Structure 1
């Protein structure tokens, strides 16, 4: 089911069914640990966790917003660091500390009026599988669990926390025929 990444491309384009699915996305939802981050958690002596985020991923999220694709986070962990990153990127919808991600998805769909078939989801592990099955477009970083990779429509070449989010954002922009416009704007053309 998953599209195999192309070794010749920095960001594998969504082709065939994956591109068709990506072209309909109005809301892209992301997990955090293992997607926006490499999954590592660093704890200090007080028990506070630290996470590392990739700036390319952040710019990709901003690109989606520029082309009218809303963004959301649904994550199982609760973190002030994630809330700060969400504010910085102007991600509209944040659900933290979620045990059942399908419940958060249902609330998000009701709030936005967007159909599940018009949603994408990028996740990396078993807790993401149920919500991925409900969304019209499912994506995973290269280092996602093998059971996830077998069940998604598109797989990034990059690992979580190392540009996978940017790759899927680029693929969506290409599928929606907006990538060249974004690139021209960035170049000042």
Structure 2
């Protein structure tokens, strides 16, 4: 898809759905000796999510793993729809679209592995991270230059902001 076509489609996006492990994180799983899971999130991704919300994009999460750390991060960022422990992500995306009253074509999805394909295939715009498997990178509309957990979500959100020509809105409070 050409950059012009991508930007045209991105202008129609009203919701962004993110996978977590491998997208918002680098995909590594950290456990304490007591079995408590730790996740590391990039601050630029979090700030990007806030910017997306500021320009009217509903950001949601659909994750295959359940984690208290993820739930806490979602609440911290004001993400109202956080579906965790989801094994079949295609129907979950359809359910979320109905909840948000948004057509699938108006949803962008960012995932990084085969479990994400059912939602990537249904989305209006699909994206993945630079370090996703080649089979995933070949099946999406856009691939970031950054890896998962390294600011890739912010990179995609910046593209959404570009498509909407919304930088003046985004930086208005920071001048």
State the TM-score bracket (shorter-chain normalisation): over 0.9
Q: TM-score of the superposition, structure 2-length normalised?
A: 0.96
Is there any run of 5+ residues in structure 2 with no aligned partner, and where? none
Q: 1:26 aligns with which of 9, 14, 22?
A: 14
Q: In the alignment, is residue 140 of structure 1 matched against residue 128 of structure 2?
A: yes
2 CA distance for matches of 1:115 and 1:54? Answer: 29
RMSD value, Cα? 1.1
CA apart distance, 1:184: 4.2
Q: In the alignment, is residue 43 of structure 1 matched against residue 31 of structure 2?
A: yes
Contact 2:55–2:169, Cα closer than 8 Å, also in 1: no
How many residues are treated as equivalent by the alignment? 175
CA apart distance, 1:138: 0.4
Ranges of 4+ aligned residues in structure 1 off by more than 3 Å: none
Is there any run of 5+ residues in structure 1 with no aligned partner, and where? 4-14
Q: Secondary structure at the match of 1:97?
A: coil
Give 1:115's aligned residue: 103
Alignment of 1:49-128 (within 5 A): 49-128=37-116
CA apart distance, 1:179: 2.1
CA apart distance, 1:163: 0.4
Q: In the alignment, is residue 161 of structure 1 matched against residue 149 of structure 2?
A: yes
CA apart distance, 1:21: 1.6
CA apart distance, 1:103: 1.6
